[in-house]
Amino acid sequence: MTPTSTPPSAGPLPPPPPPRARRHGTVRGRFAPSPTGALHFGSLLAAFGSWLAARGAGGEWWIRIEDVDAAREVPGAAAMQLRTLAAFGLVHDGPVGYQSRRGHLYAAALARLLDAGLAFECHCSRSDVADAGGVHRSCRPGARRPDPAVRLRVTDGSRVAFDDAVHGRIAQDVDREVGDFVLRRADGWWAYQLAVVVDDADQGITDVVRGADLLDSTPRQLLLQHALGLPRPRYLHLPLVLDDDGHKLSKSSASLPVDAADPLPALRAAWHALGQDPHRLPASASLAATLAAAVRGFDAGRIPRGPLAATAVHNALAMRDA
């Protein structure tokens, strides 16, 4: 289904820049962690799942560090995450991308949207938006601020639908459920929605495999892709892993780092959490042999929707290996 149509007042956009070169028909996936700490089991699951999907299709797997929000970044976290991925044998293709070095690409995309009338400066405060039920549909009359945000203009009737490889058909009325969404924040930082759309297109990503917490963001990204004339990748959203209190591990005090010195137990647990056949992995083998067997045996059709309890994953694996 095609997302929203262009507003009548908007002029034509110039063509977008070409994506990074790749062989025709080649699958290109990616893993895009935020450098807010060490990799925990939930982030390993996302990395392993996206790596398996790309390698299982004979494709490439890229890494992008989503460090666009400097206030949340932990010094040294990105380098530590890259070392951990390497220790787990999850070797990437292409150069590692850093959002903090790609501001010129976001600025160019935003300028195209503003020039075409598809985005606008918003002087509303957070309380203004909250008073409107959290969904921005129009600016408060007379509101002025020295540091306005910039939002995408979401037209009425902007219903967006897509097919997710795990969750099936997903549809969202973006105008009624989300409203005009932020592309550049009032504090000057780039919004995630703009950065991820520009990055995926620039890097030639064909398959986005990530956690199900971003399922709700995907319609916004599709709408923005359509506005910018960018290609639509395929999507697969992996199950979230929750702690005993139902919190996502990245927001949990129980999110212990995975052990880079002993990667096989965590990889086997991730294989189990992805719903894969345990008999496809050798009972005792090297890291390289285990990963090769995982690529051969991976079946995306077995991935559960989730969410998954971290304790249940651990206990089930312990019982199987007992």
Residue among 137, 145, 251, 302 flagged as catalytic = 251
Average pLDDT of the segment spanning 59-73: 93
Asked whether residue 222 is assigned to any structural domain, the reply reads yes
| pLDDT score at 20 | 59
pLDDT at 11: 47
262 located within any domain: no
| 3: pLDDT strictly greater than 60 | no
As annotated, the binding site for ATP includes 251
Q: What is the pLDDT of residues 10-32, one digit of tens each?
A: 444 555 555 555 555 799 999 99
Domain that includes residue 198, residue range: 28-242
Asked if residue 303 belongs to a domain, the reply is no
- The two tokens of residue 57 are 């299709």
181 part of a folded domain: yes
Task: Name the least confident of 7-21, 53-67, 181-195.
Answer: 7-21
* Average pLDDT of the chain, as a whole number: 88
- The encoded tokens of residue 68 equal 């666009």
313 located within any domain: no
Regarding predicted confidence, which is higher, 102 or 1?
Answer: 102
Asked about 248 being catalytic, the answer comes back as: no
CA distance 151 to 147: 13
Q: What is the CATH number of the domain that holds 100?
A: 3.40.50.620
pLDDT band at 257, cuts 50/70/90? confident
Q: What is the mean pLDDT of residues 217-242?
A: 96
Query: Residue 322 — pLDDT band, cuts 50, 70, 90?
Result: very low
Q: pLDDT over 70 for what percent of the chain?
A: 86
Residues 6+ apart with CB under 8 A from 90: 31, 47, 48, 51, 61
Position 308 scores a pLDDT of: 85
> Read out DSSP for 15-63?
PPPPPPP--TT--EEEE---SSSS-BHHHHHHHHHHHHHHHHTT-EEEE
Q: Is residue 72 part of a domain?
A: yes
Query: 16 in a domain, yes or no?
Result: no
Q: Residue 6: is its pLDDT beyond 50?
A: no
Question: Is residue 283's pLDDT more than 80?
Answer: yes
Q: Specify the residue for token string 């309890």.
A: 309
pLDDT at 24: 58
The number of distinct structural domains making up the chain is 1
Question: Which segments are annotated as binding site for L-glutamate?
Answer: 30-34, 66, 192, 210
Cβ contacts of residue 190 below 8 Å, gap of 6+? 68, 99, 103, 106, 183, 184
- Binding site, residues? 30-34, 66, 192, 210, 251
* Model confidence pLDDT, tens digit, residues 94-132: 999 999 999 999 999 999 999 999 999 999 888 888 888
- The per-residue pLDDT for 290 is 97
Question: How many C-beta neighbours within 10 Å does residue 145 have?
Answer: 12
In a domain, 230, yes or no: yes
Euclidean distance between CA atoms 63 and 85, whole angstroms: 10
Helix, coil or strand: residue 182 = strand
